[in-house]
Chain A
Amino acid sequence: MQCRQVHDAWRAGEPLGPDARAHVDQCEVCALLAGDDGALGLALGNVVAPNEAPTLPAALQARLDDDGLRARLSSWPTSTRVIATLLGAVLVPAIIVAVWRRPDFGAYPPLRMALDVLTFVVPAALALWLTLRPVHRPAVSPGVSLGLAIVGTLAMLSLVVLPEAHADHHGSLLGVGDDFVPRARACFVTGTLAGLPVLLWVRALLRDDGPWWVVVTTLALAAALVGGLSIFLHCPLVSPRHLAAGHATILIPFAVLALLGRRRGLGDTG
């Protein structure tokens, strides 16, 4: 016996049977409705829904009929969208590791390397998870997204303030003096370009169903982190000045994109 069956009896104005009375005895809420000889239950039983049967509005029908590329991508099951997103996010860093890996890979302390990579991967994965969270799941508090944005930003900045990972490779000691600006600029541009495909790819997979400012923030953060990871896996320089000017600054264009996206709105629910 469930609440609904008791409510149906009230709606029908029927006396409660033994099963219904037993339910009322153990359900605090139904007991409240049954108080005063069931006055509230009987009164609510009189309030019913109207028998309207509206037809699909033409504007909605037109959107349902949209069969464009984005409509098809965004209607993939969430599990497929998650796999596609992970493949997209891994692709650029994987290519870099395969063909354009930092030359000091052997000299970099393995534990530090693992921790540095996780510094990018963990917040990026969480940001993508939040970005793709479907609207038919209970909503996550916007505070979680804001907290993640702060943590992700601090994670990227933390690499700047950590002690230099090593000084065992001549390539890691470049980027000083006249070489500082060109190398920092090259890393900034490369890292930004490495993050952009992720942003565009995940954008195509979105259903525009989440709180839009949360979506633009988490998506931009994830793209910045993938860009940062990509350049980390490529660039051997370990100087904090270079990491600040060439790597951490990758956050800036994505923050600007997030603000622009926030202003314009991402789509239907934006």
Chain B
Amino acid sequence: MSAEVSDEALMEAYVAGDRSAFATLFSRYAPRLRRLMARDLARGTDADDLVQQTFLQLHRARRDFRAGARLRPWLFTIALNLKRQYFRRKGRRPEAPLPEPGAGDLVAEGGDPEANVRDAQLRAVLDELPAAQRDVIVLHWFEGMTFREIAEVVGATQAAVKVRAHRGYGRLREALKTQV
């Protein structure tokens, strides 16, 4: 299955019985979902487990997927719901992530040491944002979702999502200013 095939076409192929389509979806989204999970989890194994749970639930819900629907909001809704359930079950709040070199966190492009330090600091500020703001920024900036899609994923109104994005980006901007 080539990388150009859309997520939706892959999902439809999987529902029709093409098992390799699911593996392609996994390789496409597992790193992104792991990042989403790892930001709030101290243990990498918990993040990996939640990613696998997400794909297991995607598999179980595959016949709910309708032609014309977009897969990505679907997948991220499952992931965020499972993450929330994880914290409710554990009876605790999101944790500060432990540094895990090479564990799939965001990386900075280029070799400019000064820029790399700045980007690392920016990522650290992003990690420190409240989960509600950080999830919105990850979905908006890194996943390229519209506010409508994000509202659908997080189960909030578009206005609320925009407020979270505004506050989160605002804090990042302030952090950037203090670094400069």
Contacts and interface: CB of A to CB of B under 8 A. Distances in A.
Contact of B119 (A3, A4, A47, A138): A47
B84 A55 contact: no
B99 interface: no
Given A28-B162, A60-B56, A136-B77, A77 B63 contact: yes
B37 to A, nearest CB: 14
A211 B31 CA distance: 24
Contacts of A60: 26, 52, 55-56
Given A207-B57, A268-B56, A44 B172 contact: yes
A49 B57 contact: no
Main secondary structure of the interface of B (DSSP, over half): helix
Interface stretch (A34-42, A100-108, A182-190): A34-42
Contacts of B28: 53
Given A135-B57, A142-B88, A55 B27 contact: yes
Interface string B22-34: 1100111011100
A116 interface: no
Contacts of B63: 75-77
Contact of B173 (A32, A210, A269): A32
Interface in A204-219: 207, 209-212
What bracket does the count of chain B residues touching chain A fall in?
35 or more
Contacts of B90: none
A74 interface: yes
Contacts of A136: 57-58, 61, 64, 74, 77-78, 81
A32 B171 CA distance: 11
Given A48-B106, A53-B27, A269 B141 contact: no
Nearest to A50: B107
Contacts of A210: 85
A56 B53 contact: no
Nearest to B175: A40
A120 to B, nearest CB: 29
Given A44-B122, A46-B115, A139-B84, A3 B61 contact: no
Contact of B104 (A28, A52, A71, A138): A52
Contacts of B58: 136
A43 interface: yes
Given A46-B119, A64-B56, A269 B26 contact: no
Interface string B142-165: 101111000011110000001001
A204 to B, nearest CB: 13
Interface of B: 19, 22-23, 26-28, 30-32, 35, 52-53, 55-64, 74, 77-78, 81-82, 84-85, 88-89, 104-110, 115, 118-119, 122-123, 140-142, 144-147, 152-155, 162, 165-166, 169-170, 172-173, 176-177, 180
Given A32-B169, A59-B52, 20 more contacts: A4-B144, A29-B165, A32-B166, A36-B176, A40-B173, A46-B108, A47-B108, A49-B142, A50-B107, A53-B27, A57-B52, A63-B59, A64-B56, A74-B60, A136-B74, A137-B77, A138-B81, A209-B61, A209-B78, A212-B85
Interface of A: 2-4, 7-8, 28-29, 32-33, 35-36, 39-40, 43-44, 46-50, 52-57, 59-60, 63-64, 71, 74-78, 134-139, 142, 207, 209-212, 268-270
